[in-house]
Amino acid sequence: MSAGFETRLREAGYRLTPARRAVFAVLRQASTPLSAAEVWRLGRARHAGLGRATVYRTLPLLVRLGLARALLAPGGVRYQCSEGGTHRLVCRGCGAELPLSGCPAGALAQELSEKYGYLVEGHLLEFYGLCPDCQRRMRHEV
């Protein structure tokens, strides 16, 4: 799958550099979406002199190439590898996120592909609301 990264970069006319490897490797290994600052910090472990500007240049590049995805978490933008879709329940009270399995969007993707000529590569399905705790809390404490 790391080969996917290399070929994708090359076929798009970009060079394969230690900095880009480091940034992508950090995202690949992360078990949770990372902020740009976190990617920088972790990336320096892999590539000593990794620059901040390079990280900020590389992350959007990875997104444009379809190798990563930018998410809006409470607290700012975070990046993660883009493999397949992302599905979750987000509580607007406490920010808790509950991952979901099973997705109704897969079927729709094919349909959209035919209808609009889009090449659909992945999707993000987020439900917003209140978790049980926050529902209780909002009734009483506020």
* C-alpha triplet 73, 78, 80: angle, nearest 5°: 120
Does residue 4 bind DNA (CB under 7 A)?
Answer: no
Which residue, among 98, 57, 59, 64, has the nearest Cα to 79 in the 3D structure? 59
Q: What x/- string results for residues 17 through 56 when contact with DNA is judged by CB under 7 A?
A: xxxx--------------xxx---------x-xxxxxx-x
Q: Which range in 15-23, 25-33, 88-96, 106-114 contacts DNA by CB under 7 A?
A: 15-23
Nearer residue to a second copy within complex by CB, 57 or 92:
92
Does residue 10 bind DNA (CB under 7 A)?
Answer: yes
Helix axes 18-29, 2-11, angle to 10 degrees: 140
Give the one entry of DNA, a second copy, none that residue 4 binds, where binding means its C-beta sits below a cut-off of 5 to 8 angstroms depending on kind.
none
Q: What x/- string results for residues 110 through 139 when contact with a second copy is judged by CB under 8 A?
A: --xx--xxxxxxxxxxxxxxxxx--x--x-
Q: Phi/psi at 70 (nearest 5 deg)?
A: -95, 130
Nearer residue to DNA within complex by CB, 40 or 82:
40
Distance of CA 4 to the CA centre of its chain: 17
Q: What x/- string results for residues 38 through 77 when contact with a second copy is judged by CB under 8 A?
A: -------------------------xxxx--xxxx---xx
Q: Which amino acid is at 64?
A: R
DSSP string, 38-69: HHHHHHHHHSTT--HHHHHHHHHHHHHTTSEE
Judged by DSSP in three states, 10 sits in helix
Give contact residues for DNA (rule: CB under 7 A): 10, 13-20, 35-37, 47, 49-54, 56-58, 60, 75-77
